[in-house]
Structure 1
Amino acid sequence: MSDEEQAHTVYRRLALVDFADELRMGLNLGFYRTFAVPSIARVLVGTGKMSSRPVERAKATGALMYALIDHGLEAPAGRAAVETLSRLHRGLPVGDEEFVYVLAAFCVAPLRHIDRIGWRPTTAEERAAAHAFYAGLAARMGITGVPGSYEALGVWMDRYEARTFAATAEGRALMEATFGILAERLPSALGPLARTAAAALFDERLLQATGIRPASRAVRWAMRVGLSWKSRRSSGRWQSENSR
C-alpha cells in the first residue's frame, strides 16, 4: 500500500466511521467560511446556483466530496469526481490562493470541530492523513501553493482569514440563502431555536463577516455540551456494535 493509499485509509475511517456526523458538520462549517472571503463570495453569487438553488448546490458539492472520501482519489469514482471538480472550477476569476483556502477550509475546519466537541481529539496520524488527502486533490486539480503539513496549512488559513475576511453584500446573501441547511442538520427538537443554535457554531470572525447574529453564551455552552454528549453516545454505540 502506497503512502497516499494509507493516508486515505486513515482519513476515510475518520470521516465515515469514527466521526461521521462530526466531520459532516465540520465540512458544512468549512463551506460557510468561504462566504466571508469577498473574492470567493463574488464568484459564488456570480454563478447564481448557490443563491437560487442552495440545497441542490450544497448536496452536489457534498456528493462530490464524499465520493472522493469514500473511494479515494485514484479509484474510478474518485477520478470522475476530480474531473467534475476541475471542470466546474476551470476558468473561474480567482487565483490559487482562493482555491488553497477552500481546500484548507475543508481540511482544517472539520478537524478543529472534532477537536472541540468530539469524543476524543484527532490524532497526529489523522491530521497528517487529512492533509495528504487534500494536498493530493490539489495536485490533481493543478492547484499550487498548498503548505506542506496540516499544522502549516492551519497557520496559513488563520493568516489568510485575518487578511481577507470582510463583510460583503454577497457573503451575507449567500449566508441567508443557505443558513437553513445548517440549521436543519441540528436536532429537530430545537425547532424555532435552530438558527440561533447554528450560530453558536460560528466564531466571532465569521459572525462579523457574514452578518449572523451571535448566539448567547448560554446557547453556545448548551450547543457544545449537547454535541459533545451526542458524539460520546455515538462512539459508545459504535464501539458496542463492533465488539460483539
Structure 2
Amino acid sequence: MINRYKNLQLIQQLDPEKDHWQICYLILGYEFPWDSLRALEVALMRTYCIPSISKLLNKTGEFIHRPQKRYDDTSIMLTEIIKWGYESERGQEALQKMNSIHRRFQIDNTDFLYVLSTFIYEPIRWNQRFGWRLMCENEKLATFYFWRQIGQLMDIENIPDTYQEFERYNLDYEKANFRYSDDNRKIGESTRDLFISWFPKWLEKPLKPLTYTLLDATMLDAFGFEHPAPFLCRTVEKILKIRGRILQFFPAPNQSDFFIDHPTRTYPHGYEIAKLGPDIKS
C-alpha cells in the first residue's frame, strides 16, 4: 500500500529551524503544491490592499501594462529560490536580481515586513481551511524560519524573532493599514483580470464573482470590489474542502509538478534570471 504520509513522517524527523529549506521544499513541491500557489496568489493580493504598496506598484506601470510578465517574473524568482535553495548558485542569482529590482524604489521597511509575513501566514491559513491534511508544527515553524532567512538576505530590518510575534505584526499591520484607495482598485482589477484571462473568454463574466469568493471582506472593501453572494462563497468553500478530502486517497507524487520547468506565458522558450524584472533604468 502506498503511504500518503511518507513526506510528513520525514518532516516530523527534521529540525524546523536547521532544516527549514528542506521542509519547505517538500511542502511546496510535494505536499501542497496547488494549494501553496493559490495561497501565495492571495497573499500577493493582500499586499495590494495597502495604499502605500499599491501606489508604488501603480506608479511603475508594470501591473497595468505588463501584468502577465510581472506575475511570471515574481513566480520564477520565488520558485528558483524555493527549488534550489537560497545558498545555491541559482537561488543566489534570483535573490540578487530581486534585491536589485527593489533597490530601484523607495520602499518602507514596514511594507517589506508585511509582504514577507503574508508569504508565511497565508499558506498556513489556506491549509487550515482547505488542506488535505493540516500542517504539522514543524511545517509551520519551518515556513517561518525559511521566509525569515529570505527577509534577512533581502536586508529587511526588524524581523520578529518568533512565529507568534510575526503573526501578531501581520494582523496588527493589516488592521492599521487596510483601507480603500484608487491605486488599490487599479492594481486589484489588473490582477483579477490577469487571473481571468487564463480561461476561455466566455467564462469571464462568471469568473469575476468566483474570484471574489477567495478574498475576505476586508480585502474586497480595500479594493472597492462588490461582495459576492453568500451562497456562492459557501459553495466555493465547500468545493475546495471536498477537494482536500479527496486528495487524502491519492498517492503522494513521485515528481513535483511545481518544480518542473514549464514554459510560461511570458517566456515560452525559457528565461534567464538576469533578464527578469521591469525594464526601468536606475
TM-score of the pair, normalised by structure 1: 0.91
The correspondence of residues 138-153 of structure 1 with structure 2, limited to 5 A, is 138-153=151-166
1:189 Cα offset (Å): 11
Bigger Cα displacement from structure 2, 106-115 vs 170-179: 106-115
Is 2:39 the partner of 1:64?
no
Structure 1 CA distance for aligned equivalents of residues 100 and 211 of structure 2 = 32
1:173 alignment counterpart: 186
Decide which of 131, 143, 147 is 1:130's aligned counterpart.
Answer: 143
CA contact (8 A) 1:34 1:40 kept: yes
Q: 1:166 to 1:179 in 2, by over 3 A?
A: same
Q: 1:187 to 1:17 in 2, by over 3 A?
A: farther
Structure 1, gaps ≥5 residues long: none
Letter in 1 for 2:147: Y
2:174 alignment counterpart: 161
2:19 alignment counterpart: 6
1:55 alignment counterpart: 68
Task: Give CA deviations for 1:2-54 in whole Å, capped at 9, x if unaligned.
Answer: 97661111111111111100000000000001111111111101111111111
Cα RMSD, aligned residues only: 2.4
2:37 alignment counterpart: 24
1:93 alignment counterpart: 106
2:270 alignment counterpart: none
1:185 Cα offset (Å): 7.2
1:186 Cα offset (Å): 8.6
1:181 Cα offset (Å): 3.4
1:231 alignment counterpart: 244
**Rg bigger for which structure?**
2
Q: 1:137 to 1:240 in 2, by over 3 A?
A: closer
Decide which of 116, 139, 146 is 1:103's aligned counterpart.
Answer: 116
Decide which of 51, 58, 64 is 1:45's aligned counterpart.
Answer: 58
Bigger Cα displacement from structure 2, 160-169 vs 227-236: 227-236
Q: 1:36 to 1:240 in 2, by over 3 A?
A: closer
TM-score of the pair, normalised by structure 2: 0.79
1:115 Cα offset (Å): 1.1
Paired residues, number: 242
Task: Give CA deviations for 1:109-132 in whole Å, capped at 9, x if unaligned.
Answer: 122111111112211111111111
Structure 1 CA distance for aligned equivalents of residues 201 and 235 of structure 2 = 15
1:227 Cα offset (Å): 1.2
